[in-house]
Amino acid sequence: MSGIRQSLQMKLQQKLSPQQIQLMKLLQVPTMELEERIKEELEINPALEEGKEEQEEDDLKQDENEDLNDLDEDLTDVNEDLSLEDYLDDLDDTPDYKMSASNKSSDDESREMPIVLQTSFGDLLAQQLGMMVMDDQEMMIAEQLLGSIDDDGYLRRPMEAIINDLLFMQNIETTETEVMEVLKVIQSFDPAGVGARDLRECLLLQLHRVHNPDDATKLAIRIVEKRMEEFSKKHYDKIALYFNITEEQLKGAIHEILKLNPRPGNTFSASNKSQEHIIPDFILTNDEGEIELTLNSRNAPDLRVSKTYKEMLKDYTSDKSKRSKEGNKEAIQFVKQKLDAAKWFIDSLRQRQDTLLRAMGAIITYQRDYFLTGDQTKMKPMILKDISEITGLDISTISRVSNSKYIQTPFGTFLLRSFFSESMSTDSGEEVSNKEVKQILIDCVAAEDKRHPINDDKLTQVLKDKGYNIARRTVAKYREILGIPVARLRKEI
């Protein structure tokens, strides 16, 4: 039996400082989130203020550095050595009443932001159900059916499962016939097509709502009822042969079907969603061949360390008597925490701005031909490692910068990540970006005869004729990435 032993070991560990962690987090956030993060920091830290010092612009940077240096000296003058652990623990343990002030008068005007209430898809259906005349059991069945309708407007749950739910959860014994009668009532609700159990039923519900249907609508109903599978696969020749109709008649019926909404509930939900606007982090301009890059002003706010808090710390630390230090220990600790946090936050924002400009500047230099013209075919193959080597920044830092940042150019606003692409070789041995190949595929599909679309074999041959020796499976992969359907589904008449 071995006894208990004591040993002394030395370990070398690498840990990120709080400042580095804060910088990494700030690098990841886009402009809109950065604004919220700054507002949050301004609210929780009274030692951080918005705005510039009232000085001349030439002396601003020098005086600001002197202020920060003086602040560092003041912080190191505190006799009580506060460790990082004490700082974090005490920050969490500080009572709320010491972090806030109750200075609101009863005469102050209260201003509240109104909340916009929007009717959801489920609310719309419930409102229409409330206008129906039903007995209690039918109403409970209808509510169960409405709760089973998904966001697209479909009832995809099996009828047997709904009947079981009614029995075990609502103690309602019913039959499929009774549930179907209630479902027919729901299927008469707006938007047309709601409550359908599949796409075929959804289209038919909408077609049957057409008032005074013409020949094209009547033919469309027949096609959906009897030849839905052929229609979904665009086998138009089989449909025309089955109904013995001309191409013009078929074209009119297809036009009526394509006007229908395959997702009635989804359209209503999308209309109520607030639109999100992209705010670029960079702005690029082309002045007669000279590229100019500027950082969005929202990424470079004017923040400063509170002069009041700096003077407060000086007052607390000016008296060297032990009694004064003992009495003011808690106040000194609180002020120091806030000044440290304000200085770290300002430094992190500055490093963030420098890192963003360095990374974006390297991308522009690497892709100069593209940014001058906006031509996708002039984009060079580029990976994160290329920009990392130019800037001297870590690959993970480049990834954080490129994943969530946008740049505004004369030819559009783009995510930085879109400028990175893999390389491939042409027959001549030249390295080109796969984005060039994707652009050729887009151009070929856009220019094809929709009556006879180009299949993947022909697309592969087109690329080989242009010098790109690419396998057919690679062409199919690029086509899927671009969201281009197969040739059969691109067919039109």
Interval 160-183 mean pLDDT: 88
What does the alpha-carbon distance between residue 435 and residue 24 come to, in Å, rounded to a whole number?
Answer: 30
Tens-digit pLDDT profile for residues 417-448: 888 877 666 666 666 667 777 888 888 888 88
Domain membership flag for residue 100? no
| CATH code for position 471 | 1.10.10.60
pLDDT, greater one: 368 or 65: 368
Domain membership flag for residue 111? no
| pLDDT score recorded for residue 362 | 92
pLDDT, greater one: 492 or 208: 208
| pLDDT score recorded for residue 234 | 85
Own/partner contacts of 256-259, CB < 8 Å, gap of 24 or more, are 256/207, 256/216, 256/217, 256/219, 256/220, 257/203, 257/207, 257/220, 257/223, 257/224, 257/231
Domain membership flag for residue 282? no
Residue with tokens 């009863």: 106
pLDDT at 321 over 50: no
Interval 3-13 mean pLDDT: 72
Interval 8-28 mean pLDDT: 66
Show which of 253, 269, 285 is a domain's final residue: 269
Give the residue numbers spanning the domain of 476: 423-490
CA atoms within 13 A on the CB side of 343: 20
Write the DSSP assignment of 67-82 as a string of letters. Answer: HHHHHHHHHHT-SS--
pLDDT, greater one: 128 or 451: 128
| pLDDT score recorded for residue 394 | 87
Show which of 269, 287, 320 is a domain's final residue: 269
pLDDT at 53 over 50: yes
Name the DSSP class of 158: -
| pLDDT score recorded for residue 382 | 87
Interval 19-45 mean pLDDT: 76
Domain membership flag for residue 314? no
pLDDT, greater one: 3 or 207: 207
pLDDT at 97 over 50: no
**pTM confidence score:** 0.54
pLDDT at 328 over 80: no
Q: How many domains, the chain? A: 2
CB atoms within 10 A of CB 284: 19
Which band of pLDDT confidence, cut at 50, 70 and 90, is reported for residue 123?
confident
pLDDT at 100 over 70: no
Show which of 269, 301, 327 is a domain's final residue: 269
Contact between residue 267 and residue 249 where contact means Cβ atoms under 8 Å apart:
no
Which band of pLDDT confidence, cut at 50, 70 and 90, is reported for residue 364?
very high
Tens-digit pLDDT profile for residues 395-409: 888 888 888 788 999
